[in-house]
Structure 1
Amino acid sequence: MNHTVVDYVNAAVTTHPDKVFLYQGEEQMIFREIDEQSDRLASALLDIGIEKGDHLAINALNQFEWLVSFFASAKLGATLVTLNVRYRDSEIEYMVNNAEVKAIISIDSFAGFDYVAFYQNLRDKLPTVEHYLFIGGGGFEGSYDVADLLQVEVNKKRLEQTKQQVKATDPLLIIYTSGTTGKPKGSMITHKSILASAIAQRDHFHVGEEDLAIGALPLNHVGGITCTVMVALVSQSSVTLIPFFQPQQVLQAIQEYKATILGGVPTMYLMLMNEKDLAHYNLSSLRLCIAGGSNVEPKLALTLSKQLPNATLVNLYGLSETSGACVLSNLHDSVETISNSIGVVIGDFQGKVVDTEGREVPNGDVGELVIKGDCVAQGYYQMPNETAETFSSDGWLQTGDMVTKDASSYISYKGRKKEMYITGGFNVFPVEIENILTTHDKVQLAAGIGIPDEFLGEVGRFYIVPAADTNPTEEELREFCLSHVSDYKIPKEFIFVSDVPMTPAGKIQKAKLKENGATNPQNS
């Protein structure tokens, strides 16, 4: 595959220039408009010195400007680093510096948080950032207003020459995914890899021009940008953007726009099904409900099939490292199959289940899922050792997920190879939170695990050994965490203990914490 995202924008504009690509509340944007606006922003970015190979960061909600920035960056051959609006100082500082970001595009405020002041205060700690662009009218001296840049006259000759230099193998996105060390790793997704995943998903689910998807999954993850928006681009269908997940807004959008495709994590579906006014909405237009992040458990699968009788429920498995979906349920799968299996490897991708030596295991045996194909990302930015551990020289991606495969090639998910847990569809690695907690002057040691939760799937339980002569409280530790990391990473439980089980080498035995709990609990 030698095509780029730019080629698919051009194809959509040629075939359906006046067809609505994106809806946002009462507004809409046709394919020609997204092309024209991204041309203007790309031209403006060229004017301020952004060139092929440069890194831009985007920190916004699911909104037109996010996607205009995405397509503008793609047209320049630049790489867009996707940030979550919930990230705070330690996360932003690490990711922006690690990715060597040259310009940041951000909303100016959201939910009472002032991003203009946030970035102004953080500027000295972000030495590679030369330009700040704000969405919404706010800004500080020397920053740019994105609305102004969207009025720039396009230097067509210069922009066309720039577009011609973009190659399928160029990095398109850097999406950060936490590692076992707690350091987030920037997965480099190329034009080729994102298109491979999107096209395979389109073909597997028979997505066509008449489809309309609900875009409620965040665009800074592959669930939003690849599995929703890029699938719509390659099928020349439409997306209704939901700025951030709100059950009533999603239900209203399904009814108003007669949406045919809904994607979400199981927690989102649970919230929708628990909405008190659910019966008042007409959801009969839905033909496909895609659940990613974790298996749909049997009770929820049955509820969905009852409440949405016209919709087919399917699982989606994918990673930042596979640029999007690589394993999907078949459309004819039963509710029982959906509950027990994440599906089959799609497109022309390959999948194997292997042991610790990389040898394929017999059907039914648990092993690590490895994936090969054009969907596999280029590696982790500036992390050669981590890249070598995960991306093999012969093209196989080590997913770190433990699965089984049956004689029909259906894959059943068994758990994570390491310690990560998933809360409400978000990946959380305990060591990242442990590293934060142990900077608190009242904490000597912190050890976190994921424990089952009926609503969120899993939540964090952290065992705390207090520093000498101190008596930390749950509330102050929770507030401390909240000032450093996203709210979904905040532990649900704190257990205060005098010690935790250790190996002779001095490593915390988290398996024992899961099995038996810590010794000598003081309080919880």
Structure 2
Amino acid sequence: MRADVEFGSIPGLVYAAAERYRDREAVVEGRTRITYGELGERVERAAAACIAAGVEPGDRVAVWAPNTVDWIVSALGAVTAGGIVVPVNTRFKGTEAAYVLERTRARLLFITGTFLGTSYVASLRRAAGDGAGEGPLPGLPSLRDVVVLADDAPADFRTWKDFLAAGEVVPATSVRARADAVQASAPSDITFTSGTTGHPKGVVITHAQTLRVYGVWSELAGLGEGDRYLIVNPFFHTFGYKAGIIACLMRGATMVPQPVFNVDTALANIAAERISVLPGPPTLHQSILDHPARAQHDLSALRLVVTGAAVVPLELVERLRSELRIATVLTAYGLTEASGTVTMCRRGDPAEVISGTSGRAIPDTEVKVVAPNGEQLSPGHPGEVLVRGYHVMSGYFEEPQETKKAITPDGWLRTGDVGVMDAQGNLRITDRIKDMFIVGGFNAYPAEIEQLIARHPDIAEVAVVGVPDPRLGEVGKAYAVRRAGATLTGDDLIAWSRREMANFKVPREVEFLRELPRNASGKVLKTRLRSRAL
């Protein structure tokens, strides 16, 4: 049975998981260990508190917090009460968070206390404390309630404990009635794009889309009951929330949320909690493989790795399989506008397919590569990737013109990604359309150049951007991170590149960095590198 039909909605999934996996461990956070039955009870309490706070079906409820059990409970509680969850990026400053809250007219906000030395409450107050509106933040008149996920809160906000206590007057039957009324076709979340191509836009996804996609994802990845899943991908990102929390609820896997990626913490968690599933960007897996103390940790329970969001070196796949003896290593491709997953490799695919492509379209999904005039291209030719299927967003929240630009009249989502498809339907993403640059009339794709340079034995990471050139129009500039102990120079790397690739692809300049700037999902911030280059 299809996941969206079986559960109906995310609240339906929560109730089903609490019953089906009642005594199995659901979430581990330090000394806190809760079963699926206990998780169901906590979510029900949070939903009751949302109802008591005045949340009505369709109201937007934002969560601005790191990966914790409280994030899981507050978000699922809001959705169970009929709300639409709005995850807010923990990297955001107060002004950026206020923009998301204002755009969605969020009714309720769950906010962390202090995280990474920053008071999120103080940051938001500075951004939205002034205005003509009433409520805890006058600059955000729609926001009626702010709940701090901590033991202390300012006088006009509420603590998590006080918020939950206020919900005790709402009977479980009322919560269940509210949950049962949630339609599969209703929006479940509004997740904001990174804004790399303009202002951040809110992507509207329904309960049915989420359940169906991550039922498929769980099946293709082979996630199962008894798996123990270290969730490093942030919950505010589609992949962290849906391939993490939602997939685990579907399969009865144990969630071990990690608020910040730190390789020492990850290694300790993998060993102590017998972690079997570890999705994340290639840099996460590379850092584990290269850690000098790796051998001191028992990583033998690891059996499933899913990666993507960047170039995946063949060497990485082979090392995961040979050195860590991980049985299943998969790559995938997706974007928020298509519910986070478009293509996936399949178990049993050869290492070259896993490293060189993002796999084939998931079931009931169409993918094609087109020229600028919209003509479909044959295998082997690069063009823009278009996607059509049940999981394409209904649109950007209250932005019909932006939605019209993104989705064609016949339902194809323009991804803005450049890709090449092989004869078997495997898709290789070569770049963002906006990242491509033209060298003397030749199209240069940074991701392709990066993949070639990544083969150099002294290079740990590399990113290439186009910079102006008076003779050729544009040329490549490489930002590289050396491997530990390497003494490679820029001239050395350019000379090596001339032997390995066509001349128009060779970077004309190399700058070495300690690390590449990345966003929370592991993607290199090319905009920052371009600004640095200029």
Same fold per superposition (TM over 0.5): yes
**Which residue matches 1:99?**
104
Establish whether residue 160 from structure 1 lines up as the match of residue 188 from structure 2: no
Equivalents in 2 of 1:406, 1:126: separation in Å? Answer: 50
User: What is the DSSP-based 3-state SS (H/G/I as helix, E as strand, rest coil) of the residue aligned with 2:47?
Assistant: helix
Equivalents in 1 of 2:523, 2:331: separation in Å? Answer: 26
User: What is the DSSP-based 3-state SS (H/G/I as helix, E as strand, rest coil) of the residue aligned with 1:342?
Assistant: coil
**Which residue matches 1:303?**
319
Contact 2:280/2:306 (8 A) holds in 1: yes
RMSD: 2.8
Alignment of 1:28-427 (within 5 A): 28-121=33-126, 122-124=128-130, 125-151=139-165, 152-153=167-168, 154-179=170-195, 181-419=197-435
Equivalents in 1 of 2:87, 2:477: separation in Å? Answer: 26
- What whole-Å deviation, never above 9, does each CA across 1:263-311 have from its counterpart, x for those lacking one? 0101212222222201111111111111121231223333323321233
Identical aligned residues as a percent = 27
Contact 1:295/1:341 (8 A) holds in 2: no
User: What is the DSSP-based 3-state SS (H/G/I as helix, E as strand, rest coil) of the residue aligned with 1:35?
Assistant: helix
- What whole-Å deviation, never above 9, does each CA across 1:12-59 have from its counterpart, x for those lacking one? 122221211111122112112221111111111111211111111101
Q: TM-score, normalised by structure 1?
A: 0.79
Instruction: Give how far 1:182 is off.
Output: 2.1
RCO comparison, higher one (Cα < 8 Å, 6+): 1
Contact 2:12/2:179 (8 A) holds in 1: no
- What whole-Å deviation, never above 9, does each CA across 1:88-143 have from its counterpart, x for those lacking one? 03311221111111121101111221122223332333232111100112211221
Contact 1:168/1:190 (8 A) holds in 2: yes
User: What is the DSSP-based 3-state SS (H/G/I as helix, E as strand, rest coil) of the residue aligned with 1:200?
Assistant: helix
User: What is the DSSP-based 3-state SS (H/G/I as helix, E as strand, rest coil) of the residue aligned with 2:111?
Assistant: strand
Equivalents in 1 of 2:398, 2:215: separation in Å? Answer: 29
User: What is the DSSP-based 3-state SS (H/G/I as helix, E as strand, rest coil) of the residue aligned with 2:241?
Assistant: helix
Instruction: Give how far 1:224 is off.
Output: 0.5
Structure 1 residues 488 and 42 mapped into 2: Cα distance closer, same or farther (>3 Å)?
farther
Contact 1:171/1:189 (8 A) holds in 2: yes
Equivalents in 1 of 2:11, 2:334: separation in Å? Answer: 24
Equivalents in 1 of 2:482, 2:287: separation in Å? Answer: 9
- What whole-Å deviation, never above 9, does each CA across 1:293-337 have from its counterpart, x for those lacking one? 123122333332332123322112111112122211121122222
Contact 1:402/1:416 (8 A) holds in 2: yes
Instruction: Give how far 1:488 is off.
Output: 8.3
Aligned amino acid, residue 96 of structure 1 = L
Runs of 4+ in 1 over 6 A off after TM superposition: 420-423
Instruction: Give how far 1:82 is off.
Output: 0.8
- What whole-Å deviation, never above 9, does each CA across 1:200-240 have from its counterpart, x for those lacking one? 11111222112221111100001211112211111122221
Contact 1:84/1:220 (8 A) holds in 2: yes
- Which of 27, 30, 37 is the equivalent residue of 1:25? 30
Structure 1 residues 181 and 314 mapped into 2: Cα distance closer, same or farther (>3 Å)?
closer
Equivalents in 2 of 1:178, 1:390: separation in Å? Answer: 15
Equivalents in 2 of 1:110, 1:178: separation in Å? Answer: 21
User: What is the DSSP-based 3-state SS (H/G/I as helix, E as strand, rest coil) of the residue aligned with 1:178?
Assistant: coil
Instruction: Give how far 1:179 is off.
Output: 4.2
Equivalents in 1 of 2:171, 2:226: separation in Å? Answer: 35
Unaligned ranges ≥5, structure 2:
131-138, 437-445, 451-462, 466-473, 484-516
Structure 1 residues 359 and 29 mapped into 2: Cα distance closer, same or farther (>3 Å)?
farther
User: What is the DSSP-based 3-state SS (H/G/I as helix, E as strand, rest coil) of the residue aligned with 2:342?
Assistant: strand
Equivalents in 2 of 1:14, 1:358: separation in Å? Answer: 49
- Which of 6, 16, 33 is the equivalent residue of 2:11? 6
Across the two proteins, how many residue pairs are aligned to each other?
Answer: 447
Structure 1 residues 347 and 234 mapped into 2: Cα distance closer, same or farther (>3 Å)?
farther
Structure 1 residues 399 and 291 mapped into 2: Cα distance closer, same or farther (>3 Å)?
same
Contact 1:77/1:170 (8 A) holds in 2: no
Structure 1 residues 357 and 491 mapped into 2: Cα distance closer, same or farther (>3 Å)?
closer
**Which residue matches 1:464?**
none
Equivalents in 2 of 1:242, 1:307: separation in Å? Answer: 24
Deviates more, 1:231-240 or 1:355-364: 355-364
Aligned amino acid, residue 11 of structure 1 = A
- What whole-Å deviation, never above 9, does each CA across 1:416-472 have from its counterpart, x for those lacking one? 11249999xxxx9x9xxxxxxxxxxxxxxxx9x99554489xxxxxxxxxxxxxxxx
User: What is the DSSP-based 3-state SS (H/G/I as helix, E as strand, rest coil) of the residue aligned with 2:368?
Assistant: strand
User: What is the DSSP-based 3-state SS (H/G/I as helix, E as strand, rest coil) of the residue aligned with 2:331?
Assistant: strand
Equivalents in 2 of 1:383, 1:267: separation in Å? Answer: 35
Contact 1:264/1:290 (8 A) holds in 2: yes
Aligned amino acid, residue 175 of structure 2 = L
Q: TM-score, normalised by structure 2?
A: 0.78
Unaligned ranges ≥5, structure 1:
431-446, 457-480, 496-516, 519-524
Instruction: Give how far 1:7 is off.
Output: 1.5
Instruction: Give how far 1:66 is off.
Output: 0.5
Deviates more, 1:111-120 or 1:101-110: 111-120
